[in-house]
Structure 1
């Protein structure tokens, strides 16, 4: 482990089972439960966990936005939708790439980005 580097992230989840199923099916993450109110996730690029809470993480309320990377943005968006995610912002361009925002089953906002399309 590197000292002074971001090592772990924790996010709220109203329904741990729904979020575990969503992220497992959509992104291939694995989980380890630590009691009934906490589940750690792995295989995500940065390890973290979901804790049971009745609130959600949204940038509009001051929370950090967690951004994932995907080689194929369109197929990732389709998997998000088919597994129960809600598209908050459809694919748009920004300097350096393209991305979309989605809500997980518990209402947390995430983004997925990819490199720009080749001309």
Structure 2
């Protein structure tokens, strides 16, 4: 999801919908599209819709052999109205997202990843 958001942001695009595709052992496939509340390229927004799609898939015991997540109905970010938010935590996450994009652009996409374990401050 983070990679999809980063690609969209680098292209100056936002997705109006996401499509999740699942492929199972034996060749069966499942695909579903869900629209976003508003066009977005932010990881947080894309993640929320992707999780909704995963819940809709109702995965039980099937052997999953492939997964795809696609941004659909793309628009230029210049066409997305800017909103004023009073959610300081969300605004801080969006600032951090932009900073991480700049670091990854400079040093490579794998320079920052999930924490390996607990962080001890001594």
TM-score by length of 2: 0.24
| Structure whose alpha-carbon radius of gyration is higher | 2
TM-score by length of 1: 0.24
Q: Which has the higher contact order (CA 8 A, sep 6+)?
A: 2
